[in-house]
A and B are shown apart, each in its own frame.
Chain A
Amino acid sequence: MALKHGLAAAVLALLGAGGLVAQEKRSGLDYMTPETRAMQEDDMSNPGMLFIAEGEGLWQAPAGAANIACSGCHGTAAQSMRGTATRYPAIEESTRRPIDLAGRINLCRQTQQKAQAFPAESPELLALTAYVAHQSRGMPIAPPADDRLTPYRKSGRDLFERRLGQLGLSCAACHEGHAGQRLGGSIIPQAHPTAYPLYRLEWQTLGSLQRRLRNCMTGMRAEPFAHGAPELIALEAYLMSRATGLPIETPGVRP
């Protein structure tokens, strides 16, 4: 463990993405009640698994003018998608800009399947993204060592630390300054996106990291960035680099 955390710290230092020095990195899972943890950890009681089952169906269903399924090119997801979610957001070669996993799936859908992109936060996009991410469950988050991502991580970090909205809060003010303490009845987690898309009891359904970030901005009384906005992708890229080494949990359960 010491070695792993040492490595993670080294990677963060290289990325210029430090920030968690005082506390050991912890997933939000660690802050939950035993009941909510148990709901996540038992696949038969984790409601997110309903969406994984749907995602598996979508993976195998031919779609679009090309009438080809994800599995038509990528075969068995358990093999071809193993580890994929640990590396996103990544640079998309055709645009030379970062893209998150849901964006990558939608791009594949448009360019390969010749199908309409799924709308942001649609059940299909969430199910397919969760199914792909689920293939990396238990694997450590390992953002690519790609210099082209550095400026985006930097701008994501700047956003994370910038005070926004009517309450004058930043992400960092709560999730670094007060992580582990209570806000109302809730414990403030360290904001590591280890388990997305995840089933939030508040939402009563599966949702993306972008939904959560927009949700946080509403809580800060700030105008949320639009789904798919470059700011949200930059925040995702920064948060994933900040969470390096923590295992993927998809589909997580959170209160």
Chain B
Amino acid sequence: MTRALINTPKQAQQGEVIEIRAMIAHVMETGHRRDAQGAAVPRNIIHRFQCLYDDVEIFAADFYPAMAANPFIAFSTVATTSGVLTFAWTDDQGTIQRATAEITVV
């Protein structure tokens, strides 16, 4: 189950720069920690984040273990046409979590 919170304006003027905020539940295990028994805890972080606007990538990020748990990111895009924003987070175990948000451009 994807546990993500996306915040975008539902509606925007054409050409307007809109802010997009996205947060997802993920432990972002650094690979630098040991458990109570002293065994190394393997790294498992979201290492790639991508945002598509109607299937075209408008923003992406490579993450390293210094990103906080439950990663939060805010960025912007120019509202062009009414459409769908798709968000994808890929972690070290190969799990891809996705979320979408619709935007109406007037």
Contacts and interface: CB of A to CB of B under 8 A. Distances in A.
A and B touch in the complex (CB under 8 A): yes
Given A44-B23, A204-B70, A205-B69, A49 B1 contact: no
Contacts of A47: 23, 25, 69-70, 72
A51 B25 CA distance: 8
A66 interface: no
A54 interface: yes
A44 B5 contact: yes
Interface of B: 1, 3-5, 7, 21, 23-25, 27-28, 68-70, 72
A57 B23 CA distance: 17
A111 interface: no
A45 B3 contact: no
B21 A50 contact: no
Q: Which of B1, B5, B68 has the most CB of A within 10 A?
A: B5
A50 B68 CA distance: 14
B1 to A, nearest CB: 7
A50 B70 contact: yes
Contacts of A54: 1, 3, 25
A57 B68 CA distance: 25
A50 B23 CA distance: 8
A51 B70 CA distance: 11
A49 B23 CA distance: 10
Contacts of A51: 25
B3 A50 contact: yes
